[in-house]
Amino acid sequence: MPQLDQAVEEAKETFAVLTKLMAEHGISFLDIETFVQRPVGLAGVSVAMAYEQWARKMNTVACLLAHQQGIDDSSRLSTLDRQRLTVAAFSLVQEVS
Residue 97: predicted pLDDT? 53
- The predicted model gives 9-13 an average pLDDT of 95
3-24: b or e for each residue (b if 16 or more CB lie within 10 Å)? ebeebbebbbebbebbeebbee
What dihedral angle (degrees, nearest 10) is formed by the CA atoms of 56, 67, 79, 81? -130
- Give the tens place of pLDDT for each residue, 46-78: 999 999 999 999 999 999 999 998 888 877 888
User: Which domain covers residue 44, as residue numbers?
Assistant: 2-96
Share of the chain above pLDDT 70, in %: 98
| Helix 2-24 vs helix 79-96: crossing angle, to nearest 10 | 80
* Neighbour count for residue 43 (Cβ, 10 Å): 16
pLDDT surpassing 90 at residue 4: yes
pLDDT surpassing 80 at residue 1: no
